[in-house]
Homo-oligomer: A and B are copies of this chain.
Amino acid sequence: MEVKQLSRREREKLRQRQEMLAAALDLFSQKGYHNVSMAEIAQKAEFAIGTLYKFFQNKEDLYKALLLELCEEFEVSISQAIEQPQDEVEKLRSFIRAKTEVVRRNLPVIRLYLAESRGASFNIKAGLDDEIRNRFYLSLEKIAAIFASGIKNHRFKNIADPYYLAVALASVIDATLLLWLDAPERHPYPENPDTILDLFFKGLLEP
């Protein structure tokens, strides 16, 4: 494995990078990109500003790295969840569970992620956020593939384009998450993925 060949120096660097990203993440998710200064991040990460700039070309670069890292975790989790050899219904359940789990682990960034993935962000200059958007779309396509497969297998009714179905499912999960973030006690997050799936399945499943 490549990982083992990292020298002590390189491992140290990676650790420092992670600390910087963690500090930045914390601040960005609390106050938003434009309300956090590089000095603030440096101080929280306990490095000098100059060191920050050794690791990231500029503020935007740091932000992008942050989001890509997050993206990565999302994708890995979700890919693992749906790549198991299961039937389509079970895959969707796993997807919902995985997404919920990642959210639980990354609570502070959820808003950032939603903003960036859904397009309501202007933190990144035009064109730079394409990568993140594209990766989001790619993971949607994996879900769409499940629906497509389910339709092909006659487990689902063919009531809509699979991609639309995937978008709809993802957006309902996100909406539920936001509801819960805003008022956790009034809108408890459903432990059982079927709470969300029912909305779709009661109609999607063949009789």
Contact = CB atoms under 8 A, between A and B. Distances in A.
Given A164-B176, A198-B203, 12 more contacts: A33-B34, A34-B122, A35-B122, A114-B120, A115-B115, A118-B120, A119-B182, A120-B120, A133-B182, A167-B179, A171-B171, A171-B175
How big is chain A's contact interface, by range? 35 or more
Interface string A95-121: 000000000000000011011001111
A133 B183 CA distance: 12
Contacts of A132: none
Interface in A125-158: 133, 157
A31 to B, nearest CB: 6
B119 A160 contact: no
Nearest to A168: B172
A22 interface: no
